[in-house]
């Protein structure tokens, strides 16, 4: 089964061909109204289940729209709609869903749930975010960087803040797409060493630099995300804010990165916490392109999964 579970577990050439396919599909649509069907309809007669055990704006809407543009149909399901949360096992849910739909996208909590779904489904499964990873976001980020700046290979990408799920998939991408990665944040919030080791094993730099000013020197791209993720306890909020205050992306920090550095955030953003409005709305920010590119990147991911 061709599952899209994370960046570091997907073959390098396939990742590259998905990014290239996304660029071509985006260009082919031009400025067509959003619901205009694509000229090619590779998902005709296909049904896609979109399961959300956590809230979502971008993932929900971009997947739903992408399936429709490619001629398929969707069922958007919340965790509470399913028997999943009421004692039916993930494995049994996977077996049943596979009899009704051709592709499953799931946003869930534990990564084990995603893997159990993939193991027992007989249709492809896509990771729409877990507590540990967020690969669809990073496909959109690579597409966005390359639209603005050309090949990402050999560039320097800096993550400031919490070493979270989105950060982990970005580090995987460093290894797979061949860019250098620097994490800057406080030690308790470091990304998992396994992702840093994976990137280094692919021959790129993966470094930790505690000083955000030094970290962003020479950066081609500066990235951050919320300081408190959906799976983090609300009680962690105050502590996180105290730990991370010095890692805010503001104009002073972007000035250290230099005028050519881009800024990205997967969104939703908390303005004046992890990023100031001056940066979000400033000339280096490509966050709206990044959000749009979820659509185009995921269409390529779905085609790859289905081999269509």
Q: Which residues pair with 156 in a beta bridge?
A: 180
Pick the binder of ligand NVA from 76, 82, 208, 230 (CB under 6 A): 230
Q: How far apart are CA 96 and CA 4, in angstroms?
A: 20
56 binds ligand CP (CB under 6 A): yes
| Region near ligand NVA per CB under 6 A, out of 4-12, 40-48, 164-172, 196-204 | 164-172
Please say if 294 is a catalytic residue.
yes
Report whether 137 belongs to an annotated binding site. yes
Q: Which of 107, 155, 168, 265 is an active site residue?
A: 107
- Tell me if 202 sits within 8 A of 178, measured CB to CB: yes
Q: Please say which residue, 56 or 98, places its beta carbon nearer to ligand NVA.
A: 56
164 binds ligand NVA (CB under 6 A): yes
CA distances from 157 to 134, 154, 189, 207, 303 (A): 17, 10, 18, 11, 28
Pick the binder of ligand NVA from 6, 225, 274, 290 (CB under 6 A): 225
Q: How far apart are CA 272 and CA 113, in angstroms?
A: 34
Residue 209, classified by CB atoms within 10 Å of its CB into exposed (0-12), middle (13-18) or buried (19+), is middle
Q: 3-state DSSP call for residue 153?
A: coil
Please say if 107 is a catalytic residue.
yes
Please say if 134 is a catalytic residue.
yes
| Region near ligand NVA per CB under 6 A, out of 44-52, 116-124, 175-183, 222-230 | 222-230
- Tell me if 38 sits within 8 A of 92, measured CB to CB: no
Binder of residue 57, out of ligand NVA, ligand CP, none (CB less than 5 to 8 A by kind): ligand CP
- Tell me if 263 sits within 8 A of 284, measured CB to CB: yes
Give, as ranges, the residues between 137 and 166 that touch ligand CP (CB under 6 A): 137
57 binds ligand CP (CB under 6 A): yes
Please say if 211 is a catalytic residue.
no
Report whether 89 belongs to an annotated binding site. no
Contact characters 235-274, ligand CP, x per CB under 6 A:
-------------------------------xxx------
How far apart are CB 52 and ligand NVA at their closest, in Å?
12
Q: How far apart are CA 145 and CA 262, in angstroms?
A: 8
**Number of other residues whose CB lies within 10 A of the CB of residue 2:** 12
Per-residue tokens: 239: 């502590």
Report whether 83 belongs to an annotated binding site. yes
Residue whose structure tokens are 């929900």: 60
Alpha helix positions (H), 79-192: 90-100, 111-120, 135-149, 165-177
Report whether 107 belongs to an annotated binding site. yes
**Dihedral over alpha carbons 154, 156, 162, 163 (to 10 degrees):** 20
166 binds ligand NVA (CB under 6 A): yes
Give, as ranges, the residues between 231 and 290 that touch ligand NVA (CB under 6 A): 266
Q: Which residues pair with 236 in a beta bridge?
A: none
Please say if 225 is a catalytic residue.
yes
Report whether 303 belongs to an annotated binding site. no
Please say if 270 is a catalytic residue.
no
Q: Please say which residue, 57 or 277, places its beta carbon nearer to ligand CP.
A: 57
Instruction: Summarize the annotated binding site as residue ranges.
Output: 56-59, 83, 107, 134-137, 165, 225, 229-230, 266-267, 294
Instruction: Summarize the annotated binding site for L-ornithine as residue ranges.
Output: 165, 225, 229-230
Residues that bind ligand CP (CB under 6 A): 56-59, 129, 137, 266-268
Catalytic residues: 107, 134, 137, 225, 266, 294
């Amino acid at each position: 089964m061709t599952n899209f579970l994370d960046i570091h577990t997907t073959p390098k050439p396939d990742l590259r061909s998905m990014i290239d396919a996304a660029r071509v599909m985006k260009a082919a649509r031009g400025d067509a109204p959003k619901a205009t069907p694509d000229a090619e309809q590779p998902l005709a007669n296909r049904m896609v289940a979109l399961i959300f055990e956590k809230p979502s704006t971008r993932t929900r809407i971009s997947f739903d729209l992408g399936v429709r543009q490619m001629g398929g149909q969707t069922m958007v399901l919340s965790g509470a709609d399913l028997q999943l949360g009421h004692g039916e096992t993930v494995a049994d849910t996977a077996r049943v869903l596979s009899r009704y739909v051709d592709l499953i996208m799931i946003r869930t909590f534990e990564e084990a749930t995603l893997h159990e779904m993939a193991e027992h489904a007989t249709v492809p499964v896509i990771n729409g975010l877990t507590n540990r990873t967020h690969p669809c976001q990073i496909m959109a980020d690579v597409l966005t960087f390359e639209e603005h700046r050309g090949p990402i290979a050999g560039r320097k990408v800096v993550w400031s803040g919490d070493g979270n799920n989105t950060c982990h998939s970005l580090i995987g991408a460093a290894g797979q797409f061949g860019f250098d990665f620097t994490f800057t944040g406080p030690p308790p919030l470091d990304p998992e060493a396994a992702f840093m080791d994976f990137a280094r094993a692919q021959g790129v730099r993966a470094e930790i630099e505690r000083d955000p000013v030094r970290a962003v020197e020479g950066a081609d791209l500066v990235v951050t995300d919320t300081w408190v993720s959906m799976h983090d306890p609300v009680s962690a909020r105050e502590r996180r804010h105290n730990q991370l205050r010095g890692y805010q992306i503001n104009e002073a920090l972007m000035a250290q990165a230099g005028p050519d550095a881009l800024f990205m955030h997967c969104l939703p953003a908390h303005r004046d916490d992890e990023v100031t409005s001056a940066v979000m709305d400033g000339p280096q920010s490509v966050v709206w392109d990044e959000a749009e590119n979820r659509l185009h990147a995921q269409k390529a991911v779905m085609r790859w999964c289905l081999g269509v």
